[in-house]
A and B are shown apart, each in its own frame.
Chain A
Amino acid sequence: MRDLSGRIGMVDVALALALVAVGMVVSRVRRLDLEKDVAVATVRSFVQLLAVGYALDFVFGGHDSLTWVGLAVMVGVASWTAGRRARAVPGAVWVALASISVAAVGTLGVLLALGVIPAGPRAVLPLGSMVISNAMVTTGLVTTRLRDDLAAQRREVEARLSLGQTAAEAGGPWLRQALRTGMLPIIDNTKVVGLVALPGAMTGMILAGASPVAAIRLQLIVMYMLLGGNAFAALAAGELAMRRLFTPAHQLARTVRR
């Protein structure tokens, strides 16, 4: 087999560092002032991935129960990140936590229940990380877009409320827009998959020596999982953000008005 799994050593990694040196040289010669960022990125990626590699090795080595701890940590970090990005929305971290959890539980739950993937960490952790990181981006997009649009269009929103519309009716057009914004990138990605870029899961399996046809079967499952997870995350984030951006008395929240 001329695949790569099992024959990459630390020496190979060190050799690949030569490519980072190219980035350093370009930055220096063109005075981009990015040398420090390149160095930090290189060191961070090394340390983070090394740690994750050993952690996964440990979990795969008979500590299956840690799978769920791993997922919880991912959901926590993703929620914090998405919540920080959307901090103009009151309680954004909680909105993100709920939305990302819904996406993770919804998709992994369905795949596990249908027996599409086995319950072990080798399937659940990598797939979970993909759902969670996608849901993180979606949640941030939907909540910030909704908040920004309501703030920009507050005159029209409040005119609708003044005519006796509910918060759901008055904010509806902008909620729809925010959901579209959150869901379109993944839909577009799914449309051109394989034509524009060979996606990560498939690339990884091919590099590891699997047959391309087996690789695409996994990739299809991944894409459909991401579409579903994205829909879960967008819907939850939109609905929950609406509750934070309007009061129970169908008023635009003060944070949106000032």
Chain B
Amino acid sequence: MGDRFELIDVRVDGDDGPILSVPRARIAADGLTVVVGPSGAGKSTLLRLLNRLDDPDGGSVLFEGRDVRDYDVLDLRRRVQLVGQVPVTFPGTVADNLGVADPVPLLARVGLPGAIAGREADRLSVGEAQRMALARSLALSPEVLALDEPTSALDPGARAGIEQLVRSLADDGLTVVMVTHDERHAVELADHVLEVTPCAT
């Protein structure tokens, strides 16, 4: 399979010089791509370019061969789902958060019991909330799932569960891009590794 994303001469500027600089990079359409690099290298910024929460100050990001800026941005964001480091719960129940007629199959897909649907979302544990956030994204039937350190806020037990889940979503044919600071992920989980190097200052 080909590339889902291609980054060409991408540069993002911060207040004091560039915070991300990628001469060339590809994100494969198949499997799990793990993005590694030292903290401050701009890994999270790179993810934000994929669904256009941010735009590069130089260069271009191609999605399916076309510049991301050529897509309708709201449509692009539904197709490229970004899930943050700390799970965000909206007011209301888990079912309210998911916003679908029947939340049970969706919950099952992320390893949550169907009974949790009626629970207030802000009463979930961090691990449960992270799974719910994944389910909320999957409800939109995205083609790409971009995850920003999805396990960093979790305890080791919950962490292993999420890693397994991410792996199985990639095996089901979803393009998964995951930023991590955990070297182990690159070795044990990844199909592809994308290394981001810090900008020269």
Contact = CB atoms under 8 A, between A and B. Distances in A.
Interface of A: 155-156, 158-166, 249-252, 254, 258
A90 to B, nearest CB: 15
Contact of A251 (B55, B90, B136): B55
Nearest to B51: A162
Contacts of B53: 158, 161-162, 251-252
B137 A163 contact: yes
B52 A251 contact: yes
B14 A164 contact: no
Interface-central residue, A163, A165, A254, by most chain B CB under 10 Å: A163
B140 A159 contact: no
B49 to A, nearest CB: 11
Contacts of A166: 74
A258 B52 contact: no
Contacts, number: 49
B32 to A, nearest CB: 20
Most chain A beta-carbon neighbours within 10 Å: one of B74, B86, B133, B140: B74
20 contacts: A155-B86, A156-B90, A158-B53, A158-B84, A159-B88, A159-B133, A162-B51, A162-B77, A162-B81, A162-B137, A163-B81, A163-B136, A163-B137, A164-B78, A249-B69, A251-B53, A251-B54, A251-B55, A252-B53, A258-B14
Nearest to B82: A162
B15 interface: yes
Given A158-B84, A249-B55, 7 more contacts: A155-B88, A162-B51, A162-B137, A164-B75, A164-B78, A249-B52, A249-B69
B73 interface: yes
Nearest to B77: A164
A251 B12 CA distance: 15
Given A249-B55, A251-B52, A251-B55, A161 B77 contact: yes
A251 B52 CA distance: 7
A211 to B, nearest CB: 53
Contacts of B86: 155
Contacts of A250: 73-74
A166 B77 CA distance: 11
Contacts of A164: 74-75, 77-78, 140
Contacts of B15: 258
Contact of B140 (A158, A163, A251, A258): A163
Contacts of A251: 52-55
Nearest to A254: B54
Contacts of A163: 77-78, 81, 136-137, 140
A165 B75 CA distance: 10
Contacts of B137: 162-163
Contacts of A254: 54
A229 B15 CA distance: 39
Contacts of B75: 164
Contacts of A162: 51, 53, 77, 81-84, 137
Interface in B50-99: 51-55, 69, 73-75, 77-78, 81-84, 86, 88, 90
Nearest to A153: B88
Interface in B120-179: 133, 136-137, 140
Nearest to A169: B74
